[in-house]
Amino acid sequence: MAVDELDTRILRLLLEQPRTSVREYARILGIARGTLQARLDRMERDGVITGTGPSLSPAALDHPVLAFVHIEVTQGHLDDVGDALAAVPEIVEAFSITGGGDLLARVVGRDNAHLEDVIQKLISLPGVVRTRTEVALRERVPYRLGPLVEAVGRAARA
C-alpha cells in the first residue's frame, strides 16, 4: 500500500499526540474530518495502523528485567512451541527467526531469579531443545517509528 505525504503527516501526528481526537487532528492538519477518517480507515484496513491502545511499561508493572531468549525447537514442533509460548505471560512477544535458533522471545521478569524460573519453564516445554538468553542492560534506542515515517514522507515528496 502506498503511503503519500498526507498519510505520513497523519501518522506523525498519531505518534506525537496519540490521545488527541479525530476532530482535533483534522483541525491541526487543515483537512476535513471525513477525509481524515477515510484515510485512517484505509490505513487500518491496509495494516499500516495496527493498534490504538496505550503503550505499557513492563518495568512499571514490576517486571524491570528484560531478556531476549533464542529458542531452538525440534523439527516439526514450531507451531506447538509457538502456541505454548503464548500461554506464558512473561513473554511479551516472540518471532520465528533465521540464524541461531528457531524462535526469538522478548521476556520480562521481576528480577533475575524470576527470569530464571521463566526460562526453566521454557526449557521444559515439549519440542524445546535448548535456549540461549541475553539480558538487556539498558535501552539505547526505544521502540520508535517516527524516523521511519519521516523517511517515508520524504520519499513520498520526492
Residues 4-30 pLDDT 10s: 999 999 999 999 999 999 999 999 999
User: Do 70 and 92 belong to one domain?
Assistant: yes
Residues 43-61 pLDDT 10s: 999 999 998 888 899 999 9
What is the maximum span of the chain, computed from C-alpha positions, in angstroms? 57
How large is the average pLDDT for residues 136-154?
A: 93
> What are the grid coordinates assigned to 87, written together?
500461554
**Which residue spans within 11-137 are E strands per DSSP?**
65-73, 91-96, 103-109, 128-135
User: Do 14 and 42 belong to one domain?
Assistant: yes
User: Do 50 and 62 belong to one domain?
Assistant: no
Residue 66 belongs to some domain of the structure: yes
What is the CATH number for 40? Answer: 1.10.10.10
Residue 28 belongs to some domain of the structure: yes
Per-residue exposure over 82-110, b if at least 16 CB sit within 10 Å of its own CB, e if not: bebbeeeebbeebeeeeeebbbbbbbbbb
User: Do 85 and 18 belong to one domain?
Assistant: no
pLDDT score for 100: 82
pLDDT score for 119: 98
User: Do 73 and 102 belong to one domain?
Assistant: yes
Residues 68-126 pLDDT 10s: 999 999 999 999 999 999 999 999 999 999 988 899 999 999 999 999 999 999 999 99
The residue range of the domain holding 104 is: 58-136
Residue 153 belongs to some domain of the structure: no
